[in-house]
Amino acid sequence: MGHKRKDTIVLGLALFSIFFGAGNLIFPPYIGILTGKNYMYALIGFFITGIFLPHMGLVVVSVLGGTLGDLTDRVSRNFTKVLGSLIMLSLGPFLAVPRTAATAFEMALVPNFGKINPLIFSIIYFVIVWILAINSNSVVDKVGKILTPILLLFLGLLIIKGIANPISSFSPSYTNQNFYTGFSTGYQTMDALGSILTGFLMLTFLDSKKYTEKKDRMEISVKASILSGILILFIYGGLIRLGAYTGTIFTPSDEKTYIMTEISKLILGSFSKIALGLCITFACFTTATGLTSIVGEYFQNLSNGKIKYKVIVTLVCVSGIIFSAFGVEGIIKIAVPILSILYPVVIVLILLGAFSKILPDRIYQGATIFTLIFSIIDVANKSFPNIKLLEKIVSTIPLGKYGFVWVIPSIVGGILFSFIKMDKILEKEDKSPI
């Protein structure tokens, strides 16, 4: 096997490990339970936000230059700093990284050892994450070569046996919005957010392997993304189907970590507690390590080296210890409104980035601003249902009743701004001291 092919496989497996983390493991079975026999519609929605858009984002950013600014500076440089920081705070210290620790605790420790002090576990967990992340040049190799094959082996066995011998019949459908259920639940993976920032880790890997030719770097990046996407589709589809074939064993009120643990036990027997515990631990460590590394690189670059990588990694790990105390369900509740605002904006930017050569900056600006405004309105309406004005706005917008309040406004905003001269306004903004 040539070095290029080997490096492509290693990078592809590493991307799979980073994208497919704790959130990815607990949500698909839950989607299957919610949608029952209609799970295919939900899978399509989850595929879009959990597989297609993240990998599309990865490729788009690679083509544009490999950094977030290459995608978002078309809106404004200040916007790039704000959006990048918000995404990094979500992926790092406040949501994704703490959730990996909470998931590992609830699915690996509690089922096998009963009641254990979660604080002690979190401290040990994040000390290990700190050690793995502190040397960013070797993170990808560690993730791809050591941890991912173990994760794939267990999940493959679980899915194949579960599909061959279903544990029950279809579960009843608890929703009439099957596609949107999958689409919106995909927000919780945060993979599209991570995809437009993964360039830091990818470029570090390519540099460490001495790839300097643009053609080679692009070829490895694209093929690695395709490999990662295929693996994730197999896992997502399999886990959603397992959830759909649980009859009345579970209900949507059951905790997501409990559902995954029990499905594994019903399919593979009691030994799966240990096997799943190991699998979950590896998934969580690979995700936490990769995200912590990305966050460290980002804020070090943003501060022009004034804040050192080791300091940022340390802060992320300390914050992870604190926020993991909320537990998986608590962190998910915190994440819903945040991701419901960030995710649509990122989706629009990825789609615009694919056509960046033919679209003027004003379309970027209009589509992004309108998406942001109406995403905030949608979240406000769900958070404060008694405000009739918000409800009226949402119900009036086409596709609003299906959950896609921001789609039509983003198109309208892009069209409107294409006729507005924003250049001077944004030029002044970008000269501000932020």
Q: Is 303 left (phi over 0), alpha (psi -120 to 50) or beta?
A: alpha
> Residue 119: CB partners within 8 Å, gap ≥ 6?
321, 325
pLDDT of residue 24 exceeding 60: yes
Angle between helices 327-353 and 96-104 (to 10 degrees): 140
Q: With both helix axes pointing from N to C terminus, report the angle between 148-164 and 214-244 in degrees, rounded to the nearest 10.
A: 40
Confidence of residue 256 (pLDDT cuts 50, 70, 90): very high
Give the tokens for residue 396.
């009036």
Q: What is the pLDDT of residues 100-159, one digit of tens each?
A: 999 999 998 888 887 788 999 999 999 989 988 887 555 545 555 666 577 678 889 999
% pLDDT > 90, the chain = 56
Domains and CATH numbers, the chain: 3-336 (1.20.1740.10), 360-434 (no CATH)
Dump pLDDT digits (tens) for 349-391: 999 999 988 899 999 999 999 999 999 999 999 999 889 999 9
Chain segment 151-198, per-residue pLDDT in tens: 678 889 999 999 999 999 988 889 989 999 999 999 999 999 988 987
If phi over 0 gives left and psi between -120 and 50 gives alpha, with beta otherwise, what is residue 347? alpha
| Amino acid residing at 75 | V
